[in-house]
Amino acid sequence: MAFSHRFDPTSLREYDIRGIVGRTLSERDAFAIGRCFGSLVVRRGGSVVAVGRDGRLSGPALEQALVDGLKACGLRVLRMGVGPTPMLYFLNVARGCDGAIQVTGSHNPPDHNGFKMVLGGKPFFGGEIEEIGRMAASGDVVPEAAGSEEPVDIAPEYVERILRDWDGGDRALTVVWDNGNGAAGEVLARLVAGLPGRHEILFPEIDGTFPNHHPDPTVPKNLEALIARVTATGADLGIAFDGDADRIGVVDDKGHILFGDQLLIVLARDVLSRNPGATIISDVKASQVLFDEIARSGGRPLMWKTGHSLVKAKMAETGAPLAGEMSGHVFFAERWYGFDDALYAAVRLLGVVARLSEPLSAVRAALPQVVNTPELRLPCDDTRKFDVVREVAARLKAAGARVSDVDGVRVTTEDGWWLLRASNTQAVLVARAESTTGPAGLERLKAALADQLAASGIRLDLEAAASGH
């Protein structure tokens, strides 16, 4: 019987395929992804694809349908089982696979799920995901064939490889970890058993209902339990993961959050001590303090587009040893493989902290102080959002403003900077502002942003935008 399938158009995203199970994502979709992605692998001469999943309740059925689709292309499927997304990336590298797919809803609510893909060792995103939709609709797949599957327990090898890069000596740090009931659970327990010091894991059980808090460490509310435990125990730091452990959240010894750009400063100083002059990449949402500190530490700062797939591609192009995003994705190419891995980033951070002569809170406190907004999310129709950004950019350039258009519009003034970009994954505009001249400067930046939005027919409601998810 001829193969043909249509996806819900909202599920084909810029960086992955994602939807609400039973509404915009089904097992039929999972089979179609396997059939189409598998066809791409076969047409490139490949034969082996690795598959894993996070702990969501919909995971087993979606994973099985995906595997069935891959096998129908005649492929050999290595099944990792439940574990963090970066462990699947490691399996892909360690076994020389031709492709890899993780079934994961990442940091989204329990009824969501999705698929993160790697093809030929590179992130699979953008136009390639659109191609999956086209192939499915037109039935453009390889003839049906009989493939095979086998379970692979890669966890011992993965943990051993991470521990090989521990560089903190024998210093006994006290660390609190918040697994958030995410997919890292069992691997994390194995990892901390191999590290010196005292370790406590909060919510270690893998539970796809996320009964304790939402699995997104970039939202301060989700770090409350970790902060409370760090301060109660006098720990050196706390570390949290998102649902599939490719994003990290960090809390210092005083219970203060280190945001993604602050974390990258700590890691960049260490990497640049061994790689002077190296390029360090972060996204347009990061603080100017980060880019200035990279330069001050002897590195070449590179501001790039937001999105883990885009950052990974730019790292490969530039040979950068380290990159990171405000969202908590951290990418090491120095001694590692260039993919975002929160478990690996955590061990590298612990090594840095173990070698510090002062607590992590002192490092954070010594950073130049700025005042900024949280990430503001403004509802804007998908058909309009990119046009708004183009209109704002054109007006600002005509007025002679200092504008970077690497990803949206980032405007620099005497007070600091503000950013407006269209989300690649949602019907929203994303905005942020940061002042070096205090609260009054931040108000001027927000007013300039509001004026530009108003000129394009968008009202900036700061309170609603700041609380949007």
Supply the residues annotated as catalytic.
106
Q: Residues near 435 by Cβ (< 8 Å), separated by ≥ 6?
A: 370, 371, 372, 415, 416, 441, 442, 444, 445
Structure tokens at 391: 């209109």
Rounded Cα–Cα distance for residues 323 and 90 (Å): 18
Structure tokens at 32: 């179609």
Residue 144 sits at φ, ψ, to 5 deg, of -65, 140
- 416 neighbors 436 (Cβ within 8 angstroms): yes
CA distance readout (Å), 168 to 197, 342, 353, 360: 11, 17, 8, 14
- How many CB atoms are located within 10 Å of the residue 83 CB? 27
